[in-house]
Amino acid sequence: MAGLLDVILGYECNLACDYCTITPEMRLQELKIAAVLAALRRGRSLDYDRVSFTGGEPTIRRDLLGLVRAASSLGYADIKVQTNGLVLAVEANMRRLVEAGTTRIHLSIHAHEADRYEPLVRREGTYAAMVAGLGNALESGLPVVVDVIMKADTYRHLPAAIAWLAERGVANVDLWYVSLTDGNRENIRSLPPIREVLPVLRGALADARRAGITARSLHIPRCLLGEDRAHAYDPGADRVMVVTPEATFELRESKLAGTVHVPACEGCEHRPICPGIRPDYLEVYGDDEIAEARGQAPTITPTRARRLPVVTACVPG
């Protein structure tokens, strides 16, 4: 059975995003080239036919091109590089990735406006590089998926972000729901309740459909998406093996994935394919939204303090 080998080369990055789950200690960890090559060979022996190089930021590794070539020579049919796009601002860097055998780019824009992007990534002068990197990725002819984060101070701008991406010819967008794990564990302010996000998300998904963009929502259960449930995306539903500097495991076992089914999930039509909700979300908000959607009483009480209100001048885009 074919599948995806998701290789986290290391946790070092050229940005310091304010919602990043990577801790300072994790940034010191990386997979040595011998370990990556061993994982690639083992992956092929287990019939994994796709590979993803991620991090951290994989494009800051000097050996990335060699690793892409190695994956290609081993017979991986699809070779993805996950990036923030800054290094790709130099067109020659994008061209080298293509020549090495990269077949797909996933690029995180975080936020689409300079006055929001740079405070979020906490590095001045990077917005123009991100935009240039996105442009070069699109010009390369490779399939490009743009990742956008949904958190308390960004979700209101989803419709505007979809319009901005449509203007640039982006055809595929993944909408990631922020996670309270590791380095972002105590940043409760960053996590909005799903019921607050849904009206804006639905508008953004409708805009994406009209623009011909394939948009996928990650980490919001199908029952809450309602009529927009076709946009729900669970990467762990496929055969995905994650290789990190610390461990190797199936993606569906990741702390970033939904893993908990609450009592209201029983009898739900989506139960056979729904991975559940993330534990970090239940700790903050409990299961009342799931119970309400199913017409039942909540049973899980939040065990962490609910987030403080975020003071913002933002309005829905």
How many helices and strands in the chain, by DSSP H and E?
Answer: 10, 10
* Within-domain flag for 22: yes
Q: Closest Cα partner for 273 from 205, 211, 207, 223?
A: 223
* Within-domain flag for 24: yes
Predicted pLDDT at 308: 42
Range of the domain at 108: 4-258
Predicted pLDDT at 116: 96
Which is more confidently placed, 117 or 316? 117
Predicted pLDDT at 114: 95
* Within-domain flag for 309: no
Across 134-225, where does the E strand assignment appear?
A: 144-150, 172-177, 214-218
Q: For residue 251, is pLDDT > 90?
A: no
Is 258 in a helix, a strand, or coil?
coil
**For 59-114, how does the pLDDT look when each residue is reduced to its tens digit (9 = 90+)?**
999 999 999 999 999 999 999 999 999 999 999 999 999 999 999 999 999 999 99
CATH code for the domain in which residue 215 is found: 3.20.20.70
146 neighbors 174 (Cβ within 8 angstroms): yes
* Within-domain flag for 296: no
* Within-domain flag for 244: yes
Domain count of the fold of the chain: 1
Percent of the chain with pLDDT over 90: 90
Q: For residue 309, is pLDDT > 70?
A: no
Give residue 315's pLDDT band: very low, low, confident or very high (50, 70, 90). Answer: very low
Contacts of 106 (CB under 8 A, 6+ apart): 52, 80, 81, 82, 83, 144, 145, 146, 147, 174
CA distance 111 to 113: 6
**For 188-244, how does the pLDDT look when each residue is reduced to its tens digit (9 = 90+)?**
999 999 999 999 999 999 999 999 999 999 999 999 999 999 999 998 889 999 999
Q: Tell me the C-alpha to C-alpha distance, in Å, between residue 314 and each of 116, 152, 155, 197, 317.
A: 11, 10, 10, 13, 8
Give residue 304's pLDDT band: very low, low, confident or very high (50, 70, 90). Answer: confident
* Within-domain flag for 143: yes
* Within-domain flag for 193: yes
* Within-domain flag for 132: yes
